[in-house]
Amino acid sequence: MDIDGILGNGDSKLGKSSIPRRRQWVKRRETWLVILGVILHAVYMLSIFDIYFKTPIVHGMDLVSPRFSPPAKRLVLLVADGLRADKFFEPDLEGNFRAPFLRNVIKNQGRWGVSHARPPTESRPGHVAIIAGFYEDPSAVTKGWKANPVEFDSVFNRSRHTISYGSPDIVPIFCGALPHSTWATYPHEFEDFATDASFLDEWSFDQFQSLLNRSNEDPKLKRLLEQDNLVVFLHLLGCDSNGHAHRPFSSIYLNNVKVVDHIAERVYNLLENYYKDNRTSYIFTADHGMSDKGSHGDGHPSNTDTPLVVWGAGVKHPRPVTAKDHSDHVLRFIDQHLHDTPTPKEWDLDGIERVDVNQADIAPLMSTLLGLPCPVNSVGNLPLGYVDMKEEEEVEAVLANTKQILNQFLRKSQIKQSHSLFFKPFKPLASYSSMLNQIEELLSARDYKAAMQLSENLRSLALKGLHYFQTYDLLMLMAMITLGYISWMVFLVLHVLQAYTLLPGDIFRKEEAVRQKSNTGKAQLCGCLFMAVVSVLLFLERSPPLYHAYFAMTIFLWTQILNEYKFIKALWRYLRGRESDYVIKLLALVVVSVIILELLVHSFTERKLYTWCFLIVGAIASIYLYKSIPWRSGIPVFVCLTCWFLSLFTLMPAEIPDNNKLVNASGVMVIVIGLTGKWLDLKAGVNRFWFGICNHEKRQPRFPMLFQLQALLVGLSSVMVFLSTSHRTVKQELHTIHQLMNWFIAGFSMILPLFSENGLLSRLNSIFLGFAPPFLLLSIGYEAVFYGALGLVLIAWILFENSLLYVRKVNKSSASGKNLGEHAFLENDTRYLQLSDMRIPLTFMVLFNVAFFGTGNFASIASFEISSVYRFITVFTLSDGRTPHLQVIHTIPACYMCIQCNNQTTRSSKNRMLLPRYSLFRRDDSPLLLSGEEHGELDGNW
């Protein structure tokens, strides 16, 4: 049979004696390739932190002291974690607004707007932007956003004293190492996602209220609270936990909006009655929003748009919207939203001026209200629309903000210049000192308008300069990493051509003859000398050690490619001697491959491309098989139907709706597919065709009951999905026995495929059944059906490839004059790669990507569906071995459970009446009926 291989036909001129030697060479070479590949990808993956995740923090800048009187003596920061802007501002179904107190503030006392966050929209980055004024050091992601990889300045650092209560994941980040702070957090086990988490917000308020009450009996605490530059930070986690657990459109989440509004009202009344001096500023905002599927992390507006309400000392009062307020349509916020976007009508706030900000702008706002220096690493712009100050003081505040950002720029420029041999300065700020002098002259001349404009221009240039030095090495690093990956691909292609294809004998003999040690030595010597020069330059520039690794890996690979110079040259001469139709076929294959790869890139954002892909591929593959297989077979129809079935999933919404019945039905589907695979495996000895596909073995299996055990585990997982979900829905609690059973089924089932038979179909069938239980237990909707559909397509792919291989062997047998039925398989000869085999890696890449993106964007952190793990655990961090639910109950004062104060006396287990405060009932669903004066100790029945 003629083979359309890249390197010729199947008649090798190497001889049988050279085949063992060549196989040894391939095996030895591929061992080193695997080791090299692991090292290369590990090193190049670390480049992400140098290219994209480079810390923006620098040290050594001087503070810029403000030259104006602070309008406020103290500031209260309320952060409702996970609160969406639209759910906060919009009314409920009855037309009532969920935050009546803060809406009254917006209309009568203060200013409002939308705070725009920047991805990743997570709790730690959001709070860092609010409190420290810069967008999180991305290297913190390697520590799970829990620790500070680099110490940074914040508003809390500059305060005289900071009081903070809230989550153990947030408060210690800013107060853990702060000597002038008073703070406390609830235990991690309080964060039980199977309960209504609004009591966490009440806990924070209760701690602060208790502190104020104690101060009446503690003179030292009283003096501390009466100091100026005092900051109070209450972290309210309830909306985030309830959004994850119940989705942001649930009654529990929406009720939590009322809870945080009520807390804001009580904090305001509490402090105004305590101080009675009107010198307190209040800021209410959120660190990030929440998507409809109960997640956050990406740049969707539901995650980046958060509410901002500011009132109190030093804050402007509401102002009606005027025509002059819409002049910045070309400007964009950090999340790429335009300035002056129209306020939705349903918010009923379109007549009141709205001042949107970037999230990092809140830090300089807090510093200005307290008269503190801005945090030294802040990149926020002071939003003057919120500050009520004299014109002269406003200019001074903006100038202080500008100098603080300019100091960062100068420090980064100084560090880079001291390290760089070929330094390129940021030219627009070459004359920054003269600009500062001009601003001071304008201030002396009381030309405040011109001074303000020049200060804002200088601040804008300083921010651009910071970005310039933040990405100073970006082009060089990206070029080096790109060259490295290209060299790796070229090196692998050369290896495949040498090891798995058939060159005409003379070309291969010539290539081996001219590969002398002298030529190899010259290439390696040149590579070493070049690397030595590069290393010296990098050392003189004090570059990080990883920079040396990036260059060394890339230079090493290109050196290895140069070692194959003679082979490449011989290959080029060979290709030039081939017919033009072969060259056209080769180019066409390259073009098709590039198109498919580009479609895969676009599929990251447009999942519907996979639908068209599988519709077209299913039709073409089935037609091709129908014409190729010379007998009646159902394989073409099977291939077509499975591809079309899989194409449906990328049309479905990425926000997977809950449907436990569908998950249970998927368990039955998986078992049916497994039974079909087992039947094919058993029937392989009857039909020669199936024998070849299944690679059936005659020996007895090691574990005859393995299939039955795996099918049983799939069935048990479906039953546990039903039991765990139904029980949690009714009781809002996950039993320990359910947890243990789910963990056992998921873990044990994944081990069983290791004991399966060695046959192709039997091994694949065992793997399919082995991973089905954990997948089902982690599913909440149609993604469970996707698992079975993907398994069917993988079976169809195996059938397709084996059918083509079988037909080719039969054709070769028929061409040699032998009977079709007696010689379905030829001797175990060597099969070399063909040009048409390119479809195999391309198909693999498509299926690999659809496995990740078939039911959503699994490349995004926001795609994680937290409710999918509720069958395993509901408290994600346990500090000790105590029962999480009872720990919450025993620490809550009974007075917070008063239903009579909330005018509710009954509760149905199916239709829960959610309270604006804590929701606590007996385990038998009987309500807690206490007056506001009864304070009894609770027992384990509550």
Measure the CA–CA gap between 439 and 432, rounded to whole angstroms: 11
Of the segments 600-614, 635-649, 671-685, which one has the largest average pLDDT value? 635-649
pLDDT at 464: 93
pLDDT at 401: 95
| Parallel/antiparallel/unpaired status of strands 357-358 and 111-116 | parallel
Q: Tell the residue number behind the tokens 């001291």, with chain if given.
A: 418
A 10 A CB-CB count for 270 gives: 16
Instruction: Decide: 362 and 231 in contact? Cβ < 8 Å.
Output: no
Q: What is the mean pLDDT of residues 346-369?
A: 93
Instruction: Decide: 481 and 44 in contact? Cβ < 8 Å.
Output: yes
**Residue 685: is its pLDDT beyond 60?**
no
- Angle at which helices 517-540 and 565-576 cross, to 10°: 120
pLDDT at 171: 92
| Parallel/antiparallel/unpaired status of strands 280-285 and 305-312 | antiparallel
**Nearest CA-CA partner of 53 in 152, 170, 135:** 135
| Per-residue pLDDT reduced to its tens digit, 333-348 | 776 677 667 889 999 9
Measure the CA–CA gap between 201 and 198, rounded to whole angstroms: 5
Res. 556 pLDDT band, cuts 50 70 90: very high
pLDDT at 138: 65
pLDDT more than 90, % of the chain: 40
Instruction: Decide: 12 and 506 in contact? Cβ < 8 Å.
Output: no
pLDDT at 233: 96
Instruction: Decide: 185 and 160 in contact? Cβ < 8 Å.
Output: no
Integer-rounded Cα radius of gyration of the chain: 34
Query: Mean pLDDT for the chain?
Result: 80
Measure the CA–CA gap between 168 and 131, rounded to whole angstroms: 17
Number of residues that make up the chain: 942
Measure the CA–CA gap between 688 and 680, rounded to whole angstroms: 12
**Nearest CA-CA partner of 450 in 500, 498, 395:** 395
Task: Please give the single-letter amino acid code of residue 118.
Answer: R
**Nearest CA-CA partner of 929 in 890, 888, 898, 907:** 898
Measure the CA–CA gap between 114 and 344, rounded to whole angstroms: 12
Instruction: Decide: 280 and 313 in contact? Cβ < 8 Å.
Output: yes
Measure the CA–CA gap between 901 and 920, rounded to whole angstroms: 14
pLDDT at 877: 55
Task: Please give the single-letter amino acid code of residue 891.
Answer: T
Measure the CA–CA gap between 424 and 444, rounded to whole angstroms: 35
pLDDT at 187: 87
pLDDT at 82: 92
Measure the CA–CA gap between 321 and 337, rounded to whole angstroms: 20
Report the range of poorest mean pLDDT among 90-94, 697-701, 936-940. Answer: 936-940
pLDDT at 663: 86
pLDDT at 236: 95
SS3 assignment for 634-682: CHHHHHHHHHHHHHCHHHCCCCCCCCHHHHHHHHHHHHHHHHHHHHHHH
Terminal CA-to-CA distance of the chain, rounded, Å?
Answer: 80
pLDDT at 650: 86
- Secondary structure letter of residue 836 according to DSSP: G
Instruction: Decide: 608 and 597 in contact? Cβ < 8 Å.
Output: no
User: What phi, psi does 161 have (nearest 5°)?
Assistant: -155, 145
| Per-residue pLDDT reduced to its tens digit, 872-894 | 776 655 343 333 332 232 233 33
Residue 196's SS3 state is coil
pLDDT at 905: 31
Report the range of poorest mean pLDDT among 207-216, 452-461, 786-795, 919-928. Answer: 919-928
**Residue 733: is its pLDDT beyond 90?**
no
Q: What is the mean pLDDT of residues 531-535?
A: 91
**Nearest CA-CA partner of 387 in 79, 74, 71:** 71
Kindly give, in sequence order, each residue whose CB lies less than 8 Å from that of residue 225, ignoring residues fewer than 6 positions away.
Answer: 212, 215, 274
Q: What is the mean pLDDT of residues 223-242?
A: 93
The string of DSSP codes covering 847-863 is HHHHHHHSSS-TTSGGG
Report the range of poorest mean pLDDT among 285-294, 760-769, 917-926. Answer: 917-926
Measure the CA–CA gap between 651 and 610, rounded to whole angstroms: 9
Domain 75-327+344-380 bears CATH identifier 3.90.226.10: no
Between the CA atoms of 913, 918, 920 and 926, what dihedral angle is there, to the nearest 10 degrees? Answer: -40
Buried b (16+ CB within 10 A) or exposed e, 312-349: bbbbbebeeeeeeeeeeeeeebbbeeeeeeebeeebbb
| Per-residue pLDDT reduced to its tens digit, 46-85 | 888 888 877 788 888 889 988 999 999 999 999 999 999 9
Give the CA count within 13 Å in the CB-facing half-sphere of 104. Answer: 8
List the strands of the sheet with 111-116, edge to edge.
Answer: 181-185, 161-166, 230-236, 74-80, 280-285, 305-312, 111-116, 357-358
Q: What is the mean pLDDT of residues 536-562?
A: 91
| Per-residue pLDDT reduced to its tens digit, 16-48 | 555 566 677 778 888 899 999 999 999 998 888
| Per-residue pLDDT reduced to its tens digit, 177-218 | 889 999 999 988 787 776 788 899 999 999 999 999 999 999
Q: What is the mean pLDDT of residues 424-452?
A: 92
Query: Residue 379 corresponds to which tokens in the numbers above?
Result: 């990149």
Q: What is the mean pLDDT of residues 799-803?
A: 82
Query: Residue 421 corresponds to which tokens in the numbers above?
Result: 């041999």
User: What phi, psi does 76 have (nearest 5°)?
Assistant: -115, 125
| H-only helix segments in 371-447 | 391-419, 432-444
Res. 147 pLDDT band, cuts 50 70 90: low
| Per-residue pLDDT reduced to its tens digit, 159-180 | 999 999 999 989 998 888 889 9
**Nearest CA-CA partner of 379 in 289, 465, 287:** 465
Measure the CA–CA gap between 673 and 659, rounded to whole angstroms: 21
Query: Residue 914 corresponds to which tokens in the numbers above?
Result: 């959610």
**Residue 732: is its pLDDT beyond 80?**
no
Backbone angle region of 734, left / alpha / beta, with phi > 0 → left and psi within -120 to 50 → alpha: beta
**Residue 926: is its pLDDT beyond 50?**
no
Measure the CA–CA gap between 873 and 740, rounded to whole angstroms: 10
Res. 142 pLDDT band, cuts 50 70 90: low
Residue 387's SS3 state is strand
Angle at alpha carbon of residue 53, lines to 50 and 54, rounded to 5°: 60
Instruction: Decide: 559 and 523 in contact? Cβ < 8 Å.
Output: yes
pLDDT at 679: 80
Report the range of poorest mean pLDDT among 428-442, 630-644, 813-827. Answer: 813-827
**Residue 819: is its pLDDT beyond 60?**
no
| Per-residue pLDDT reduced to its tens digit, 453-488 | 999 999 999 999 999 998 898 899 999 999 999 999
pLDDT at 180: 92
Distance of CA 739 to the CA centre of its chain: 27
pTM of the complete model beyond 0.85: no
